[in-house]
Chains A and B, each alone.
Chain A
Amino acid sequence: MPGEVRIKVNEKSWKINSAPDTPLLYVLMNELQLQGPRFGCGLAQCGSCSVLVNGIETRSCVTPVSAVRDKSITTLEGLPAWYAAQKKLAKAPDLHPIQQAMIDEQAVQCGYCFNGMMIKASELLSKTPQPDEAQIRTAMNGHLCRCGTYPRVIKAIQRASRTMMAEVAR
C-alpha cells in the first residue's frame, strides 16, 4: 500500500507515497525531487540512475522502493556528507573529492552520466583507496559515457585518490 514504505536517503528518513513496486529512481526524482540519479535506460545498462545503498553502487531504475526499506541510500547530493562520515571529518566538505577532481580535470562534457560516474568512483575509492588504472577501468566498465570523457574520468579518479590519501596522512 502507498505510504507503508519508509526509506532513508542522505541520512534523512522519508515516508513514501508511491506504490511499493515503484522503482526507487522515480521516487527519488519525483517524490524527493533529487537531481543526482536520473533516467538513462531503465534497464540497468548504463549507470545513469546509480545511488549507493549501504555503500554499494546500485541501479535505482530497476530497484523497487520496497527493496531498500531500512537501508541507507546515498545520492550524489549526499556524497560529501557520506564521505565526511566515512572519514570521520568534523564537517562535510562542499564536495566529495571526486566531485572536486571532476572540476579540476574539467572532465565533464554534457555531464549527464556524471552522476553514475561519481557514485561508482566514490564506491571504488571507499573500497580501494589507491586503484591502479586497470582497476579503475574494470570498476567503471559498467558506466557508459557518450561524449567520450572516459580518459578524463580516469584522471579525475586518480586525482581524487591522491586528495583522499593526503587527507588520511594529515
Chain B
Amino acid sequence: MNLPRRDFLKSGGALIIGFSLRESLLGQSHLDANSRPPIPGPPDAKQIDTWLAIHADNTATIFIGFAELGQGNSTALLQVAAEELDLDMSQLKTVRLDTSITPNQGGTYSSASIQRGGPQVRTAAAEARQALLQMASKNLNAPIDRLTVAKGVVSVNNNSAQSITYGALVGDKPFHLAFTGTAPVKTPAEFKVVGKRVVRNDIPDKVSGKYVYMQHVRVSEMLHGRVVRPRGQSAYGVGAKVLSVDEASIRNIPGARLIHKGDFIGVVAENEWDAVRAAAKLKVTWDMTPSLPGSAGLFESMRNAKSTDRVVVERGDIGIFGNAPHVVAKTAYHGPYQAHAPFGPNCALADVTADSAVVKCSTQDVYGTRNKLSAMLGMPPEKVRVQYYEGSGTYGHSCYDDVALASAILSQGAGKPVRLQFMRWDEHGWDNYGPAHVGEVRAAADAAGKIVAYEYHGWQHSWTLLETSEQLAYNKPGAEWPGSGAQGVNANALGGMYKIPNVRIVNHQISGAGYLKGGWLRSPLDLSFAFASEQAIDQLAYMLKMDPYEFRKSNIVDERWMGVLDAAAKAANWRPRRAAPARSAKVVRGHGIGLGTHLASYGGAVAEIEINKENGKIAIKHLYGAIDAGLVVNPAFVENQISGQLVQTASRMLKEEVTLSTTNVTSLDWNSYPILRFEECPEVTPVVVQRLDRKSSGAGEEVMAAAAAAIGNAFFDATGVRMREYPLTPARVLTALKQN
C-alpha cells in the first residue's frame, strides 16, 4: 500500500490527544484514560489506530486488550510490538483496559494473552512499520530497501545524516489505515527483543507502594458498600432466600443505609468502617433449608446423579481390555471443589445513573463484564463503560464479575458512586469454585510395555452463567455453560500424550443446580484429570516392572511431549526406579513423574516428596516443571509462571478443599480453607522448552496437571499406596496407609 504523504497531512485532525511523556507507563496502572478520547463501545479492531499511536517525541503507545494479572503480559506484549516496530522498550507504553479505549481481544483467559494477543499486536505493529517506512522513503527520497530502523529512527544505509524519526513522520496523528494483517513479520532469526529476558515494568511500583490496585481506587462523593449474604453459599439452584430483614438493627450506626432488592442485601455508608459494622450487625433471617450433599456425601451424590453423557473420543476397540495377556490398571479418583481465593477479596467501584454506568473492577474481560452489566441494568452496552484495575491474582473466574454487578446494584440503589469491597467470607463463600470431579480410569499395556487401551469416564457439573448478585436481586434461575471444552473431559489431557490405539473417553455432565457455583479455576479440572489418569499410566509401569519415565517415553511419539518429559527428568536428575513396596521406616521418600496440559501447551513435572507415616504429613521437597509453550516471548516471565504454578499445585494437592455442610459452604477463610505456607513450600525448578519456530501458546497453567500427577506418583513410589482423593491431608494419608 502506498499512501501519499499529503493524505497524512490532510488527516491531521488529531484522533489521539493529550499524551504526556511524564506518564511513562508502568504496568497498566498508571495511565489514566485521557490518553485517547473515550468513545462508546469497542474501538474498531480493523483500524491500525486502534492498536497503536506514534507520538511526536518518538515514543509509542500500544493499546492492548489483555489484562495484566501479575503474569507480565503487559510487558511481554510490548516486547512483541517493540520487535516489529524497531523501537526500544523504553519508547513504549500501554494503557489501562477500558471499553472506551482499548480493543476487544476477548478476555484474558486460557493463559492466551500471547497466544491470541501476540499475533494481533505483532501484525498491527508490522503494518504500522511498513506505513512508516513508506513515509520515510518519500521524505528521505530513498527506496525502502535502503532504509534501516533503530529505536524509531529511519536512516538511509545506516547514515545518521540522512534520517528521520517515526515521531517526525507521524507524531500524534492517526494513520487512518485499515488493519489488513498482511504486513510481513520478522522471523525468529531477526528477533532482538522477543525471546529476551526483559524485566517486568509493573514491579517497581508494586514494591514501592505506588501501584494503584482496584482496592485503592476512590472517587469523590463515593459511598462504601458491603453485601450481606449467608456465610457460605447454598446450592446454586437455590441462591439465598431472605425471610426477614430488620432494618432497625443498624439504626444506631449513623449514615449506614440498607439497600434491599429482591434477595440481594447490602449496606452503604460514607465511612468504610461504618459499612463494615453495619453489614455485621444487620439482622437478616435466611431460609437455610438443606440443599447440598455435604462434603461426606459429595462424590457419591455426583456419581449417582442423572448425567448427560457424551462420548468425547472413540477410537479402536476397547473390548481389548478383556483379552490376555495385558496388565490393567483400573481405579476411581476424586478431586475436590477448590477456590480461587484471591489474596485480596474482589472490589469494584460503580457509578450508575439513570442512563449510563461506569464500573471500575478487576475483571479478566472488560467487554464480557460490560455485557453482563448491560444485560442486568437494561442499558445498551455503549452506555456502560468498564475500566480495569488490577486486583490481587484471580487465577480464573473469582468474584470479579459478581462484585462489579453488586456495586452497580448498590450504586443504583444509593444514587451515588459506591465502592464495594467484598469481605473474606464473601469471596471464599460465594466463589465460582473449580468443580469437583469423579474420574474412573482403566488402562492396559502389553508385555512389551505398550499402552494398548485407555478408557476414562468423568463426572462433574459445568460452570455457572449467572452471577450471584443478579440471581439474588432479580430472582433469575441458575443457568450453566454447555459443558463442552474445558468444562468437561478432553482428549488432550486424558491419555492424549501417548500413542494408544484403543481409546474411549466419556463425559458425564451432571446438573449444577444441587451443587456449588462453578467456574474456571486455573487449569480447570486438569489437576483432577492428571491425578487420575497419570496414576493409572504409572501403575501400568509398576505392574510391568518398568521405570515410569522409560515407560512413558516408549509410549510417546510427539516430540513436544517427549521434550517436556525429558526436560523435567533431566532437571531432576531422574534415576531409573521401580516404586518401593510398603516400607517400614517412619519417614519415607519418593520420586514421581507426570505429564499434563491445559488445552494447548505441554507440561512435564517431577516431584520429590517425603512422608511421615506416623502423622501422615507430606513434605514436598522439590518440584521440577517444564513447559513447551512454543515461541516464548519472555522466558523469565514463563519461569516465574512455572514457579508459581508448582507452588500453587503443591498447595492444591496438599491442602485445598472447599468444605460444605448440607446447608452451605463452610470453608470461609484461611483457617478453614488453608493454603500452603512458607514452611511447607518446596524448592522449585522451572524449565522453559523454547521453540522459536512454533506458535506461542499458553504458559500460565500447563504444568499444574503434570505436577499434580507427579506428586501422586511420588506418594506411591514412597509408600506403595495409591491415593485416590486429594488434597493429601494427614488424615487422608493415614487412612490410606492403614487400608493398605
Complex: chain B residue closest to A80, CB-CB: B208
A55 to chain B, nearest CB (A): 19
Q: A142-B677, A144-B670 are in contact. List 5 more A-B contacts (CB 8 A).
A: A22-B273, A26-B273, A112-B391, A146-B343, A147-B393
Contacts of B203 in A (CB 8 A): 102-103, 106, 108, 111
Check B640 against A138 for contact (C-beta < 8 Å).
no
Please determine whether B669 and A43 come into contact, CB atoms closer than 8 angstroms.
yes
The yes or no answer to B181 lying at the interface (CB within 8 A) is: no
- In the assembled complex, how far is the CB of residue A115 from the closest CB belonging to chain B, in whole angstroms? 7
In the assembled complex, the Cα of A146 lies from the Cα of B210 at a distance in Å of 21
Query: Taking the complex as formed, is A73 at the interface, i.e. its CB lies under 8 A from any CB of chain B?
Result: no
Interface centre among A76, A95, A149 (most CB of B within 10 A): A149
B 175-210 to A, binary, CB cutoff 8 A, 1 in contact else 0: 000000000000000000000000110111011111
Interface residues of B in 336-373 (CB under 8 A from A): 341-345
Binary per-residue interface labels of chain A (145-160) against chain B in the complex, 1 for a CB within 8 Å, 0 otherwise: 1111111111000000
| A42 to B276 CA separation, bound complex (whole angstroms) | 10
Q: Which residues of B contact A46 (CB under 8 A)?
A: 343, 670
B395 to A146, Cβ gap below 8 A? yes
Pick the interface stretch among B300-308, B466-474, B541-549, B679-687.
B679-687
Among A30, A95, A106, A115, find the residue whose CB has the most chain B CB atoms closer than 10 A. Answer: A106
Are the CB atoms of B342 and A146 closer together than 8 Å? yes
B273→A152 contact, CB < 8 A: no
A19 interface residue (CB < 8 Å to B): yes
The one of A38, A42, A95, A152 in contact with B207, judged by C-beta atoms closer than 8 angstroms, is: A95
Cα distance A155–B273 when bound, in Å?
A: 37
A77 part of interface (Cβ distance < 8 Å):
yes
Q: Which of A26-65 contact B (CB under 8 A)?
A: 26, 29-30, 33-36, 38-43, 45-46, 48
The residues of A that contact B395 with a CB separation of less than 8 Å are 146
Choose from A112, A146, A151 the contact partner of B681 (Cβ within 8 Å).
Answer: A151
Q: Please tell me if the beta carbons of B207 and A108 are within 8 angstroms of each other in the complex.
A: yes
Q: Which residues of A contact B200 (CB under 8 A)?
A: 106, 108
Establish whether residues A150 and B678, one from each chain, have CB atoms under 8 Å apart when the complex forms: yes
A150 contacts B681, CB within 8 Å? yes
- Say whether A111 contacts B211, CB under 8 Å: yes
| Contact A35 B391, CB 8 Å, known A30-B272, A109-B70 | no
Assembled-state Cα–Cα distance A29/B646 (Å): 33
Interface string of A126-166 (1 = CB under 8 A from B): 00000000001110111111111111111000000000000
**Do residues A145 and B209 form an inter-chain contact, with CB atoms below 8 A?**
no
A residues sitting closer than 8 Å to B (CB atoms) are 18-19, 22-23, 26, 29-30, 33-36, 38-43, 45-46, 48, 75-77, 94-95, 99-100, 102-103, 106, 108-115, 118, 136-138, 140-154
Q: Are the CB atoms of B678 and A95 closer together than 8 Å?
A: no
**When A38-B216, A43-B424 are in contact, do A112 and B393 touch as well, CB less than 8 Å?**
yes
Cα distance A138–B272 when bound, in Å? 34
Docked complex Cα distance between A102 and B393 (Å): 18
22 contacts between A and B (CB under 8 A): A30-B272, A35-B210, A35-B213, A38-B213, A38-B344, A40-B344, A40-B345, A40-B392, A42-B423, A42-B424, A103-B199, A108-B207, A109-B70, A109-B393, A137-B679, A143-B678, A147-B644, A148-B643, A148-B645, A148-B651, A149-B647, A152-B640
Q: Any chain A CB within 8 A of the CB of B697?
A: no
Chain B nearest Cβ from A123, distance in angstroms? 15
Is B379 interfacial (CB 8 A cutoff)? Answer: no
Q: Smallest CB-CB separation from B428: which chain A residue?
A: A41
- In the assembled complex, B408 has its CB within 8 A of some CB on chain A: no
Say whether A141 contacts B679, CB under 8 Å.
Answer: yes
Judge whether B120 is part of the interface by a CB distance below 8 angstroms.
Answer: no
**CB neighbors of A among B84-143 (8 A):** none
Query: When the two chains form their complex, are residues A111 and B210 in contact, meaning their CB atoms are under 8 A apart?
Result: no
Residues of A within 8 A of B670 (CB): 41, 43, 45-46, 144
CA of A144 to CA of B391, assembled, Å: 16
Asked if B669 contacts A41 (CB within 8 A), the reply is yes
Chain B residue numbers with a CB within 8 Å of A42 are: 276, 423-424
Q: How far is the CA of A144 from the CA of B211 in the complex (A)?
A: 20
- With known contacts A146-B393, A146-B648, A148-B645, A103–B204 Cβ distance under 8 A: yes
Q: Is the CB of A110 within 8 A of B69?
A: yes
Shortest A138–chain B CB gap in Å is 7
Interface pair A26/B272, CB less than 8 Å apart: yes
Contact residue among B202, B272, B683 (Cβ-Cβ distance under 8 Å from A111): B202
Q: In whole angstroms, what is the CA distance A98 to B255 when docked?
A: 42
Complex contacts, B651 vs chain A, CB 8 Å: 148
Residues in chain A near residue B644, CB distance under 8 A: 109, 147-149
| Cross-chain contact B669 with A112 (CB below 8 angstroms) | no
Known contacts A110-B70, A152-B640; decide if A76 and B209 are in contact (CB<8 Å): yes
- The residue that A146 contacts in the complex, of B207, B392, B671, B678, with Cβ under 8 A, is B392
Chain B residue, CB-CB nearest to A27:
B273
Q: Using Cβ atoms and an 8 Å threshold, which residues of chain B touch A23?
A: 273
Residues of A within 8 A of B636 (CB): 106
Q: Does B666 contact A (CB under 8 A)?
A: no
Asked if A39 meets B344 with Cβ closer than 8 Å, knowing A110-B69, A146-B393, the reply is yes
Determine whether B215 belongs to the interface, using a CB cutoff of 8 Å to chain A. yes
Q: In the bound complex, what is the Cα–Cα distance between A29 and B276 (angstroms)? A: 14
Interface presence of B390 (CB below 8 A) = yes
A34–B211 Cα distance when bound, in Å, is 11
Chain B proximity of A163: nearest CB distance (Å): 14
Q: How far is the CB of A170 from chain B (nearest CB, A)?
A: 24
Nearest first, the 7 closest Cβ-Cβ pairs linking A and B are A148-B647, A110-B70, A112-B392, A111-B206, A148-B644, A110-B393, A109-B70
Decide: A113 and B343 in contact? CB cutoff 8 A: yes
Assess the B341–A146 pair: CB atoms within 8 A.
yes
The answer to whether B677 and A144 have CB atoms under 8 Å apart is yes
A141 B343 Cβ-Cβ under 8 A: no
Residues on B with C-beta less than 8 A from A103 are 199, 203-204, 207
Complex alpha-carbon distance, A115 and B215, angstroms: 13
The answer to whether B392 and A35 touch across the interface, beta carbons within 8 angstroms, is no
CA distance A29 to B272 in the complex (A): 10
Would you give the shortest CB distance from A151 to chain B, in whole angstroms? 5
User: Could you tell me the distance between the alpha carbons of A7 and B69 in the complex, rounded to whole angstroms?
Assistant: 35
CB-CB under 8 A for A138 and B679, given A19-B273, A111-B70: yes
Give Cα distance in the complex from A76 to B210, angstroms: 10
Contact of B643 among A40, A111, A141, A152 (CB under 8 A): A152
Residue with the greatest number of chain B CB neighbours at <10 A, chosen from A34, A43, A148 = A148
Cβ of B675 within 8 Å of any chain A Cβ, yes or no, is: yes
The A-contacting residues of B in range 398-429, CB under 8 angstroms, are: 421, 423-424
| Residue B165 interfacial (CB < 8 Å) | no
Could you tell me the distance between the alpha carbons of A110 and B218 in the complex, rounded to whole angstroms?
A: 20
